[in-house]
Structure 1
Amino acid sequence: MHDEPSRRTVARVLPVDADGAVLLLLGCDPAEPAVRYWFTVGGAVDEGEDLAAAAARELREETGIEVEPSTMGEPFGTFEVGFSWNGRNYVNDSTLFAVHLPERPQEISFDGLDRLESQSIFEARWFTPTELEDDGRAVDPRLPDQMRAAVAHVAAAVNGEAR
């Protein structure tokens, strides 16, 4: 394992449906395939790419859902997280976006995943924050609260309130 973590700028997106459920992915660290957990869509920002464009690209790559970057609106939060993935240490400076999908897509596609991602992402599912807490497999204990913030952010946008 590398001693010095790689620092990355990351865009994460929480798609929110009309009922206040959030689309999450079930996956694992390839170095520990038996341990599966739920996490948000997202990943590293490419050089020269803005955060909203990265969030839209990650949503397309990881779920097949296509949205315009402008539908991401303003971010609703940021956080830093350190972790290990596939034997390498990372520190992510994450920016959170919420996008309203009033109608759930009929199909989620993993066709845009790269080879390693396709071996470590297994399922997509809509959760309310309470359902995720009951499931107990959130990658980060902050995730249910981030989901609540995403739902509130989308509700404010739908109701025309300032964000």
Structure 2
Amino acid sequence: MAAEARKVARVLLLDPDDRILLLHGFEPADPATNWWFTPGGGLEGDESREAAALRELAEETGLTDVELGPVVWTRTCSFPFDGRRWDQDEWYFLARTARTTTHQRGLTELERRSVAGLRWWTSAELLTTRETVYPTRLAGLLRTLLDEGPPRVPLVLAPEIA
């Protein structure tokens, strides 16, 4: 990975029924290449990871009444998307919301070209889906998180290089 990875804040947003909200993304030049992923994105300026997590969540889901919890996972990843390579240092915040109605009016231009919507997933649905989900071990990681609660220190996930 590049020496200066993009700093990213991601959110594991859970509703009162412990469903997780995921966005449905696709490659703009090849919409058949698609996947599900957690809300979040890169820090802007001198923004903190917490501020970035809340801003991205508002932009991508319309949800602003969210209780941001601890960082539960971190990972590095590198992948091709929209004609370039992205090297990222990601922190995953646990968060809860009572509101499940979403909108995507705050998407950036790139997101409008690469996000097909979002949906709430149960842990069981994640465990049985054949669709691509990032991070790739999300189903098992989420099940452990729901069963055991947040770890005392963030779990470092294996790097993902695509």
TM-score normalised by the chain length of structure 1:
0.81
Could you list the structure 1 runs, at least 4 aligned residues long, displaced by more than 6 angstroms after superposition: none
Match of 1:88 in 2: 84
Distance in 2, matches of 1:36 and 1:76, equals: 26
Runs of 5+ in structure 1 lacking a partner? 157-161
Partner SS, residue 76 of structure 1? strand
Distance in 1, matches of 2:116 and 2:103, equals: 11
Counterpart residue identity of residue 108, structure 2: D
Match of 1:143 in 2: 138
Match of 1:100 in 2: 96
> For 1:1-150, what aligned pairs fall within 5 Å after superposition?
7-67=5-65, 71-101=67-97, 103-105=98-100, 107-137=101-131, 138-150=133-145
Distance in 2, matches of 1:28 and 1:136, equals: 16
Contact 1:15 1:100 in 2 (8 A): yes
1:65-118, Cα deviation, whole Å (9 max, x unpaired): 0136xx3232111011111110111111100001111x342x311110012211
Counterpart residue identity of residue 143, structure 1: L
User: Aligned pair in 2 of structure 1 residues 86, 44: CA closer, same or farther (>3 Å)?
Assistant: same
| Identity fraction in percent | 35
Structure having the higher helix fraction is: 1
Match of 2:157 in 1: none
Distance in 2, matches of 1:96 and 1:42, equals: 9
In the TM superposition, residue 36 of structure 1 has moved relative to its aligned partner by 1.8
Distance in 2, matches of 1:93 and 1:61, equals: 20
Match of 1:159 in 2: none
Partner SS, residue 5 of structure 2? strand
TM-score normalised by the chain length of structure 2:
0.81
User: Aligned pair in 2 of structure 1 residues 40, 27: CA closer, same or farther (>3 Å)?
Assistant: same
Contact 2:63 2:99 in 1 (8 A): no
Contact 1:78 1:95 in 2 (8 A): yes
- What's the RMSD between the two structures over aligned residues? 2.4
Runs of 5+ in structure 2 lacking a partner? 154-162
